[in-house]
Structure 1
Amino acid sequence: MDTNDRSRTILIVEDSLTYRSKLRDYLSQDNRYNYIILETETGAEGLRQYRIAQPDAILLDYVLPDMNGLEFLQALQQQIKKPDLPVVLLTEYDKENLANLAIECGAQQYLSKSAVTTENLRLSLHNAIKQGELLRQVAELQIQNQRHLKVLNQKEEQLRLALASARMGIWDWDLLTGQIHWNREHEELFGFTPGGFDGTYETFDLCIHPDDRARFHEQVVKSIETHTSLCHQFRIIWPDGNTHWIETRGEAYFNDAGQPIRTIGTVVNIDERQQAQQLLQTQLDRQRLVLDMTVRIRQSLDLEEILQTTVDEVQQFLQIERVLVYKFLPDWSGKAIVESVGTEWCDILTHDRVYRPCGKSAIDHFQQGCIIANADIYTAELDDLHIQMLESLQIRANLAVPIFKRDKLWGLLIAHHCSEPRAWQASEIELVKQLASQVSIAIQQANLFAQAQTELTQRKQAEMTLQLLNAELKQHRAVEKLKDEFIGIVSHELRTPLTSMQGALGLLAMGLMDDEPAQMKQMIEIASNETERLVRLVNNILDLDKLDADRQALALEWCDAHNLLKQAIDVMTGSAAAAGVDLVLEDCPSLQIFVSPDRILQTLTNLIGNAIKFSTPNSAISISAATLDERIPYSSTRVDTSQLNSSSGSRQIRFAVKDCGRGIPADKLDTIFGRFQQVDVSDSRDKGGTGLGLAICKSIVEQHQGLIWAESTLGQGSTFFVTLPQPMNKNLLPQGTL
């Protein structure tokens, strides 16, 4: 490899100085080439630099300050008007369709920034440059073919003139007598010896190829009837059985009455012209096939589809019985992975036939890039075992071309002719070699895509793992919070009454109160009250835990709202009388509601009991219930406003408990329904509360898909509201009920 072959100019279009430096370092590690590196930060500057320097390849960042990578490719395509853009697109995005878009816009290769290494960067640049060279070669071949066609047409005209002035056949057909006269050259062109033609139309007609007779007769009749010149090409069969192409030209002559009396014309042999045209057409078809395969590879990342298309196209184009792709395994055994075979021949792929196309010496041969082309297995230098194996697969002639993955032998593209020997033409071998090169590119391209897919899957799995870890962390924090709350209960709610009980019982046990009956009674009352407080706390904790555990276990039934309120008032009348507070049942019509009566009664008694504790003596607590036909635009602070629109049905039942106590500060309205939350920390001691009553109420109401909130004015009192969604009749139950 000379110095020029080892020197490559690379343009880096990347706005990150750090990443440009990283790319330079990667390229400097490649000892195969000497890189001249040009750098720009914007797309516009990159386009200008390409016009000036004409680099071998471009490393293009997908996200640029002034445009994205696809816009750059489109602008570059318009600028240079070529399909072979030597561009490797670099991106941080994990879009599955970005590779297809980049290739459609002209990029030769696609790499994820996070996956770039010295090796895959070198390979991508090498492939981009080689693919560009291949496309340029195809374009140059097309131009050359056009030139050749033009030259061929010129030569055809020269040949026609030369034959017209030199060796050509002349015929004269007397339409009145039917006699035909041929000159000597005409007889030679039809394979007759001089004087061997008997002059009859029947003999001439037998010389015409059977497939061409009808068309020839049609052209002769048309020429005479339309008084136009005859010019027609057709095949003839010589007495020795060989077929030749003839072109005839002639004119018809008419008498004064307009009747045809004679036709005179010439014939020339056009075998060379037909062969040249056939050869040119074959070359065009071959180039078209290679170009089509190139386009399909650029448009598809499905390797199996590309391989199947390749064997199908080769079998059809070469008109052979079987074509397959053979892949080597690590131990140099292998198997056929795709196949195209005629119906009358055995298939290797479907029946999983063992097929070893070569031995160790042949593998060495293939690793050097050489091919094997046997026109006939019986005349090739093959051992008997190999011939027997080929015979078992009905193979008479074979052609095997190596397929490489990077620099390593990957497999073979193999063509089999089964019916008879076949001399493989140089053009056929070249076609199979070109397609094998395209398959090599497809394998590398599919491998890069598979790597990108694997990295994407791994990243998604990492994201899912992170989400699970975050959920576990959140759950752990919730558990820690509950633990802290429980420790707070033990350290405060349980320790305080237990200390009081311990002190009182200790004094009694020591006998210090034996002579003081009044104080002894007071100590016993203290112990009793604190015991009751502990029982309430434990019961509330157990009740709240049971509610959380049985959120879907409510037993709903139809009951009367008025009766529920009356029962709650009856239960709390004694406590109200002891506190000097009146309980007043305001307007409450007889309303049928679908609820768990025990739980709603528990909620109402908790709210009434809470109002009693914070009401002043000689005040009143009002309790009411009403029907609401529309949703209420609540303006006050409530526990969970996000639940407002989850209520099913349009009818709602609203309960209200209003006291004339000290009120609740606005900053506490959001928190009083939490566990162990009280307006004042001394309330648990002075009022006997546990801080769980409102949390229990909230849990019960939410299980009914309802809302609970409080409105309050300091110094004037508070009102607690409970709104429950209700079906319009007993046949329509609210969503989510059991």
Structure 2
Amino acid sequence: MQNVHPHDRKQLKQAVSQAVNTGQEYQIHYRLLLGDSTIRWVEERSGLWRDPDGLVLGLMGTVVDITDRRLAEAALKESEERNRTLINNIPGAVYRCQADQNWTLLFQSEAIAEITGYPVDHPIHQEDWRLIHAADRDRVDREITAAIARRQPFESEYRVLHADGQIRWVLETGQPITDSTGTVQLIDGVLTDITRRKESETQLQALVRRQGLINRISTQIRDSLELMPLLQTTVETVRSQLITDRVVVYRFKPDWTGEVIVEDCEPNWRSTLGEIGMDNCFPQGLADHYAQGNVRKIPDIYHAGFDTCHVQYLEKLQVRANLIVPILLKNQLWGLLIAHECRAPRQWTIEEVELLRALADQVGLAIGQADLYQQATENAVRARQQSADLKATLAELQRTQSQLVQTEKMSSLGQLVAGVAHEINNPVSFIDGNILHAAEYAEDLLKLMAHYRQTYPAPPASLQKVIEEIDLDFLVEDFPKLLESMRIGAERIKKIVASLRTFSRMDEAELKAVNLHDGLDSTIMILQHRLKAHGDRPLISLERYYDDLPLVECYAGKLNQVFMNLLSNALDALDEQLAADQQSEPPKLEIATALLTSHEVLITITDNGPGIPTEQRQRIFEPFYTTKPIGKGTGIGLSISYQIVTEQHRGTLSCESKTGQGTTFYITIPVQQGTP
């Protein structure tokens, strides 16, 4: 007993004592201390030794050295634990199931509990189809069944029902495993929770739809200076988007009475056009409330605490719920944009409030623009009857108006581009950040596989066959390349987002030393879709010849606006020429930069379009002069561009053109605005 390890002696004594008392054999594993201080594991099987009369003479049994077996079992346990840890650390839930009618589950990792809310050993996982959203089950079954029939990998996105009652989105990727006869026996796959990605996509789509709507209104503001048609379009658009019964614009008068001046109403409800508000029925202080830019949501007029006369007035208008957003002009309350729900109470959502608020802001800009246009028209009439000084005043007013319109146009575009770039950047950063970890995990797995193959160079025939079937050597070689291509793709998206942000620097009011090529490239990226071939229209090629320029001190956002105007005009000219089938040569744009002197740089933008006739070329920089059809342009882009280059940057903007051969615009800018 003295050679038995101290920690095992008590256990051995108990086994011997139990055998003596019960007469039964025993089997026990314990450690022995050898003379050279080494430890060996042994297995002892013993029982009572009796004489022919049944008298106990002692114990008789065998002691076998099992040290190697215990070490092998420990190593196997460690390997299994390590593999389990690796599998559980893989993003998503790994599974294996049989390719039978019930998809009998053989294994799945613990990550399934996070995705479904049910523990990995919960019986519901034997019927995982119950967790798939009912609307997706048939489609998922068809997709997986078709992939198995083709013996090809599959990928499917669908919804699952979480244990907490919520719906989660998952991406399932799988691979059919065949036997020696080619029959699919198993399915190996991974379930990844993509709920956040789907939510981001949904939010982005909603943002794009809302921005698209706002942008359409903004486009009408830029292309039309008539207020009433714009207001009518606004109420029609709002009613169709909110699916409500009536939308109106209510305009205040100087005495704070007012009337409904524009309306879009569902035919089943009475019109309120021309309706004059009864100010003695409205709650006190509402005008101040709206003048501060506050919104008012009324889900139900009968539970809003209104006075009786106010409720009766709204009943007369057949209003049951309303959403009221102020229209501000130069921070002064001009009127209200109001949505009426007539048939029943309605809970107005945050998205609906934000949509009306954004459109009310655009309407305020339109009103300001219309007022400016009306003032310009009146001044123009007086200018024809007054001296040259009044004509100069009118010209300055027109230029101010054109600058306001163009600035709003580029500001809207910049806000849209910056918003979309921000929404894209978040999920891309998530993907980019996880690719590195995925590569590290893959490298660890490949190292483990290489070590296994080195340790066991002659695997069993069945394992060797699987290795050959999946072309393991190719997978080991190609998988890191696949991850690298994903990383490169994510980097490409990040560069595109950076270009979008570069272009959207519309609000930078300070002079900064910038790389002009960045501004040119970001502008080209915004217009990239117009260069591509579509339908019968061929590709418009673009060639860039960039010189080695120093950083140029400028207003970056303003110069991006100039580049956008010049390139858009060139593309418009080429599109018109191609539509008329009068373009004899392949359409082409060229952008070149050069360092004229150590103090001055040159940018040229050339197209091989129809060119500009001499009589038109002499007027192209005049405000409101345009050769485009009505509705296609306001004639202020080149005027604003000329002002930005010559007045704000002390440069030059000129044009050379030959009819039928094309046009070139030349921009020169000082490297430093302080250079004399």
TM, length-normalised to structure 2: 0.38
The structure whose Rg is larger is 1
Q: Provide the TM-score with structure 1 as the length reference.
A: 0.35
